[in-house]
Amino acid sequence: MRRISAALALIVMTAALAGAEYTPGRPWTAVIPDPDTVDWSNPDRPGYHYRGMLPLHEKFYEYIKTKRERGEELSMADNAMIRRLQTLRRWPEAPVPNQFWRSYLRYLREQTTDELNWAQRFMLWEAFARGLIAWDLEQDEHTRNVVEYLNSGPFRARNWFERCFGRVEPWMEYTTASVGIDMGGGGGAPGTVYPAEPFNGLQITYNVAGATLGEAEDTPGFTTSRRHSGVVHPGTLTVSGSGLGDGGYGATLTVRVWAGAEERKLEEWIENTRGGADSKSFSLSVPVAPGTTSAGFSIRLDGSYSMGGGHRGLVVSGALGQSAADAAQQRAQADAEWRARVEKTLAELGYEQTPGGRELAEMRRALQGGDAAWREYVDRKQRELGYQDSDAEAGLDELASALDAGGATWDQYAAAHGGAVAPPPPDVGGLQVGTGTSGGTTTGAADHFDQVGKVSAAMNYEDLPAGSVAAAVWTRDGAEVTRSQQQVGGTGWVSFSLFTQDAGGLQSGRYTLTITVGDTVLGRKTFTIGN
């Protein structure tokens, strides 16, 4: 709290000099805006900064949407998991304060001192954890290093004991996100603005988390562009920011983010209302599996002007790769150096001879003994502590374990708790999916594939109008993976493929391929990959 108070004094002075919405004698007005003026629905707003969901979170989100659509009441475990994901900034629905929390924010704004009592501090940290303080804590180099490390991979704890004692990374991530630190690494900064002055009313503001970008290469022209190269890190790749379409009639904003076979896409129209700056915010994330060698992003603004105005466009893109060998070597070296420093410090302090030091040594021996030894250690410690899960904790652990297991385990949990995922739509048009195509025929057709890096499908059509467009959408477990399209017409055939360069092949799951021309479904096929 002292850190907040010290920082608040500087923020108050800066806000006053800048003419911000600050009321003299009310220091909290410098950092907490009027709750009735905040766009709480924006998932990339200060104090929240949605990071994107990991694949297991997407399954839980579909489960919750199914229960909502059926009008079913969410369980205590459901609500606890939503709160946890909000604290981690991985819940796509930005939290909105109810009347109680709005009243508390107004109450803080009325305080005449930045020093708070214990109850006030407790409520303040609760508001931070819930994402209800629309303000970003300033980051320094050490904070950014912590955020980069925590985004380098999913660190999971299997139960409450590991969350508290076994692995420090989940605890670090939860604590860091819960105090309002932007886990994308932006620290509340407005992001990179390109170009510095709007180009024909077009301007892009962007942040990239989960990757290291190299120097940008800018190219002027009717389509002015900036291109980055860089390295993507395992974990999550997130691209966020906003597009300004303040020229002509407006602009079309198109954002794509991909890693391996995973892709997310957004397309929005930004209308120039001529009543001020018109912009749209965006935040797209994709999971990055270890060993991913190809990833990237594209942010594009296409302006719409008068008939004689011609085309003007603005693009920011990035091509990201990864050297798995170099990354592993650097990580191993950094881990070894850090462990050596820790061991040296502990030895100098005599920590190993304390009760805590002996406990740590015992824990390390259990970890080195493999899963069986670690589970025996956890069970023994839980018995010594006399711990017994409450109904809420047991329910949350059951839900989290089912999400981690996935597959049939998750399906059984969802069905047992009223959130069973709806069955896939029926197959249409005799479409088949296989390992390849030959002319208009699908080869190696099957309903199930084990480990496979590519699947394909061919579809025959008749008497289509010239210039028609066939679109193919691939989904996995109900979530869109990618889409593509080809021009068709008359009578003939068209083929589409889904592939990955990952050595492990396409991810396991239930896939559906749907091929449409306009509003007409030419063919649909559901199949599975993996267990």
Where is pLDDT greater, at 521 or 249? 521
Where is pLDDT greater, at 308 or 164? 164
Mean pLDDT value of segment 113-124: 84
Q: Is the pLDDT of residue 219 over 60?
A: yes
What's the pLDDT score for residue 43?
Answer: 81
**Domain residue limits, the chain:** 2-178, 199-322, 354-382, 436-529
Does the reported pTM lie above 0.85?
A: no
Is 436-529 the same fold as 199-322? yes
Which residues have C-beta within 8 Å of that of residue 247, sequence separation ≥ 6? 198, 200, 201, 202, 272, 303, 305, 312
What's the pLDDT score for residue 187?
Answer: 36
State the Cα–Cα distance between residues 186 and 41, nearest whole angstrom. 20
- Going by pLDDT thresholds of 50, 70 and 90, the confidence category of residue 298 is very high
What is the pLDDT of the chain when averaged over all its residues?
A: 81
H-helix or E-strand spanning residue 394: helix 391-405
What's the pLDDT score for residue 6?
Answer: 46
- Phi, psi dihedrals of residue 383, rounded to the nearest 5°: -65, -40
Q: Is the pLDDT of residue 89 over 70?
A: yes
112 near 26, Cβ under 8 Å?
Answer: yes
Residue 372, SS3?
helix
Long-range contacts for 503-510 (Cβ within 8 Å, ≥24 apart)? Answer: 503/291, 504/289, 504/291, 504/451, 505/451, 505/452, 505/453, 505/529, 506/261, 506/452, 506/453, 506/454, 506/455, 507/55, 507/261, 507/476, 508/406, 508/407, 509/476, 509/477, 510/424, 510/476, 510/477
Kindly report, residue by residue over 365-394, the tens digit of the pLDDT.
Answer: 888 888 888 888 888 887 787 766 667 777
* DSSP codes, 37-58: GS-TT-TTSTTT------HHHH
Mean pLDDT value of segment 306-331: 72
Where is pLDDT greater, at 131 or 356? 131
Give CATH for domain 199-322. Answer: 2.60.40
To the nearest 10°, report the CA torsion of 149, 153, 158, 161: 0
Lowest model confidence (mean pLDDT) among 34-48, 78-92, 277-291 = 277-291
How many beta carbons lie within 10 A of that of residue 159, not counting itself? 16
Residue 277, SS3?
coil
Class (C level, CATH) for 436-529: mainly beta
Q: Which two tokens stand for residue 452?
A: 């496979």
Kindly report, residue by residue over 41-77, the tens digit of the pLDDT.
Answer: 888 788 888 887 777 788 888 889 888 888 888 888 8
Where is pLDDT greater, at 297 or 148? 297
What's the pLDDT score for residue 165?
Answer: 65
Which residues have C-beta within 8 Å of that of residue 200, sequence separation ≥ 6? 247, 248, 303, 305, 312
Mean pLDDT value of segment 225-253: 84
Residue 9, SS3?
helix
Mean pLDDT value of segment 27-44: 84
Lowest model confidence (mean pLDDT) among 59-68, 121-130, 149-158, 472-481 = 149-158
